[in-house]
Chains A and B, each alone.
Chain A
Amino acid sequence: MGNSSKLHRLQSMTAALVGVFFFNAIVGVFGLRLAIAGLAAFVLGAVVVCVAFPAQGAES
């Protein structure tokens, strides 16, 4: 397995773990305050990614 493939797999797993963490935070596992903070951080992060990376070919 090449280094780039390993790196890709590692990055994908990190992204999945970040997703699992945010899901649990938003459903209140760590309390209401962290749920609100988690929701705000996720939404802000999603908006930043969508604006900064508008997906190739979607804009013209």
Chain B
Amino acid sequence: MKLDPSIIARIQFAFTVSFHIIFPTMSIGLASFLAVIEALWLKTKKPVYLEIYKFWLSIFAMGFGIGVVTGIVLSFEFGLGFARFAQMAGPAIGPLIALEVLTAFFLEAGFLGIMLFGLHRVGPKLHFFATCMVAIGTLISASWILSANSWMQTPAGVAIRDGHLTVLSWRHVLVNPSWLYRLPHMLTAAYLTASFMVAGVGAWYLLKGKHQHFARRTLALGTAFGTVLIAGQVFIGDILYGTMLKYQPSKMQAAEGFWEKQSQSPAPYYWFIVPDQNNQRNRFQLGIPYLGSIWLTHSLNGRVEGLRNTPRDFQPRMGMVFYAFRIMYGLAMVMFAVGVASLWLRFRGKLFSSRWFLWILVFMTPSGIIATLAGWYVAETGRQPWVIYGVLRTVDAISPVPAQALLSTLIAFVCVYAVFITAFLVFAFRIIRRGPGEVPPHAEASGSVKNAFRPYVLDSPERLVNSSITQRS
């Protein structure tokens, strides 16, 4: 069987970047959440806020570590799988990534140690300052990366001369047409991810009848933040949709599932299609009448432009873009409904006692991560067949590397990342199962290597008690 290096390179990058994006999304959201919680603790001096801070700090630390490591891999992959892209886009993308390291990484690295290990070593105000610096660092990091990726979506401020890319205006490279909308969209996605995680864990404790005080406070905070944020996210998403319709019409045409140059009037809103890319039609489609016109053209009888408006050679694969968009948008609608329900239950004083709602929150715990992943699939698969929209095609960006080399590194990545995700999930579930306020003293983050290798660091309190009884006898 002959392997196609361009396919393997794309699968490899898709796999590693999908894995990576989970962790920055969590850490951007949790860093700001921790800053808010520490501010509340400093202001009110209520111990529950310190409990919440310590609990989520452990999960944040693990996610942050994995996010940094898997992010570094992506830079190397530019060379491994996409050397021609790196060669061409280097003058525009390279400085942005270097600036991310110089500004965000240095800031985060400088204060992360104080945030993780300094709670009992520095004053509370200095510790709060460190938490804020780490949170700001994650925002700066996201800004640079979104600027680079948005430039690939809507390139500006450059000229191609003799096959080489020259930057004409750094301002236009940085503040390219989609960055101003994609950055708040991504940041809000990260905050939503953290809000639903926090609310979901609180709901789980309430269902189990454990850690009531902690659970009520986290659930109340998570649902309040989530409700406000999802409204903002829906608004930003709609503005971004209009922007991308202007700059990347093929992406939005694929996202809506229409092939015809002009859809029927009134247009339905499709929720399920079986696209046939070769024959430029849907084999099957299922939608809600009128809703396509209402949502997409803001009129009762508006027509929607289909993918046939884009020449075949420049069309993305409809199925991938369509379903990624439906997952993202569908989850946004569910989140909005959960937000409205939480306000209603809060008003009726039943936020903590409605078991059906608590179960919904538990199931919604990973919803932010899933929606963010789906959103990135829309962005990246919808840009195809371009890697830099309208400038460089993906097939022309691949490294001249044998497919076997790419396949072997892909297998290695899958194996290593399987260990990462297993370790993360095992430790995260153990922290959640153990609960807040039950941390044995030596399991507190101390920065000591000796402590890190103690056998009971993340063990259950029961085993610790049994162990100490055995030792005494």
**B68 near A: Cβ within 8 Å?**
no
Within A1-51, the residues touching B (CB, 8 Å) are: 12, 15-16, 18-19, 22-24, 26-31, 35-36, 39, 42-43, 45-47, 49-50
Pair B231/A57 contact, Cβ less than 8 Å: no
- Do A22 and B231 form a contact, CB below 8 Å, given A53-B349, A55-B346? yes
When distances are taken between beta carbons in the complex, the residues of chain A under 8 Å from B346 are: 49-50, 53, 55
If A19-B340, A60-B213 touch, does A35 touch B235 (CB 8 Å cutoff)?
Answer: yes
Interface size on A, residues (CB 8 A): 31
Identity of the chain A residue whose Cβ is nearest the Cβ of B351 in the assembled complex: A55
Encode B319-358 as 1/0 by CB contact (under 8 A) with A: 0000000000000010011011101101101011000000
> Counting CB contacts under 8 A, is B410 at the interface?
no
CB pair A55 B232 closer than 8 Å? no
Contact of A53 with B347 in the complex, beta carbons under 8 Å: yes
Report how far A45 CA is from B220 CA in the complex, Å. 16
In the assembled complex, the Cα of A42 lies from the Cα of B349 at a distance in Å of: 20
Q: Is the CB of A58 within 8 A of B220?
A: yes
- Whether B295 pairs with A27 at a CB distance below 8 angstroms is yes
Is B227 on the interface with A (CB-CB < 8 A)? yes
Q: Assuming A19-B336, A46-B227, A55-B352, is B232 touching A39 (CB within 8 A)?
A: yes
Contact B217 A58 (CB under 8 A): yes
Chain B contacts for A16, CB-based, 8 A: 340
The distance from the CB of A60 to the nearest CB of chain B, in whole angstroms, is 7
Contact A27 B217 (CB under 8 A): no
For the complex, give the distance between the alpha carbons of A47 and B225 in Å: 9
Cα A56 to Cα B295 in complex, Å, equals 38
What distance in Å separates the Cβ of B275 from its nearest Cβ neighbour in chain A? 24
Chain B 223-237 near chain A by CB (<8 Å), digits 1 or 0? 010011001101101
Distance between Cα atoms of A50 and B195 in the complex (Å): 15
Contacts of B243 in A (CB 8 A): none
A49 to B294, CA, bound (A): 30
Q: In the assembly, what is the distance between CA of A12 and CA of B216, in Å?
A: 23
Q: Tell me, yes or no, whether B212 is within 8 Å of chain A by CB.
A: yes
| Chain B residues within 8 Å of A18, by CB | 340
B206 closest partner in A (C-beta): A57
Give the complex CA separation of A19 and B380 in angstroms. Answer: 32
Complex Cα–Cα for A56 and B349 (A) = 6
- Does the CB pair B352–A57 fall under 8 Å? yes
Contact (Cβ within 8 A) B238 A26: yes
Q: Give the complex CA separation of A35 and B231 in angstroms.
A: 10
With A28-B298, A29-B294 in contact, is A46–B224 under 8 Å at CB? yes
What CA separation (Å) do A36 and B336 show in the bound complex?
Answer: 17
Task: State whether B231 touches A43 (Cβ < 8 A).
Answer: yes
A22-B333 Cα distance, complex, nearest whole Å = 12
- B232 proximity list for chain A (CB < 8 A): 39, 43
Q: How far is the CA of A34 from the CA of B160 in the complex (A)?
A: 43
B205-259 residues at the A interface, CB under 8 angstroms: 212-213, 216-217, 219-220, 224, 227-228, 231-232, 234-235, 237-238
Which residue of chain A has the shortest Cβ distance to B337 in the bound complex? A19
In angstroms, Cα B235 to Cα A31, docked, is 12
In the assembled complex, the CB of A44 is this many whole angstroms from the nearest CB of chain B, namely 10
A35–B336 touching, CB < 8 Å: no
Interchain CB contact under 8 A, A12 and B235: no
Pick the contact of B344: A15, A27, A42, A50 (CB < 8 A): A15
> Would A47 and B295 be within 8 Å (CB), given that A27-B238, A55-B216, A58-B220 are in contact?
no
Q: Which residues of B contact A15 (CB under 8 A)?
A: 340-341, 343-344
User: What's the least CB distance linking A8 to chain B, in Å?
Assistant: 9
Distance between Cα atoms of A19 and B237 in the complex (Å): 18
Give the distance in Å from the alpha carbon of A35 to the alpha carbon of B235 in the complex: 7
Closest beta carbon of chain A to B117's beta carbon, Å? 30
Instruction: Find chain B residues with CB under 8 A from A27 CB.
Output: 234-235, 237-238, 295
Bound together, the chains give a CA A26 to CA B294 distance in angstroms of: 13
Query: Nearest B residue to A53 by beta-carbon distance?
Result: B346
Minimum distance in angstroms from B109 CB to a CB of chain A: 35
Q: Which residues of B contact A31 (CB under 8 A)?
A: 298
Chain B residues whose C-beta falls within 8 Å of the C-beta of A23 in the assembled complex: 234, 333, 336
Chain B 29-68: CB-based contact to A (< 8 A → 1; otherwise 0): 0000000000000000010100000000000000000000
Are the C-beta atoms of B228 and A47 separated by less than 8 Å? yes
**Cβ–Cβ < 8 Å partners of A57 in chain B:** 212-213, 216, 352
Told that A15-B340, A23-B234, A39-B232 touch, could you supply 6 new A-B pairs with CB distance under 8 A? A22-B231, A26-B238, A27-B295, A42-B231, A49-B346, A50-B224
- A-B residue pairs, 3 tightest by C-beta: A19-B340, A58-B220, A50-B224
Please, could you name 14 A-B residue pairs with CB atoms under 8 Å apart, sorted by A? A15-B340, A15-B341, A15-B343, A26-B231, A26-B234, A26-B235, A27-B237, A28-B298, A30-B298, A39-B232, A46-B227, A50-B343, A53-B346, A57-B212
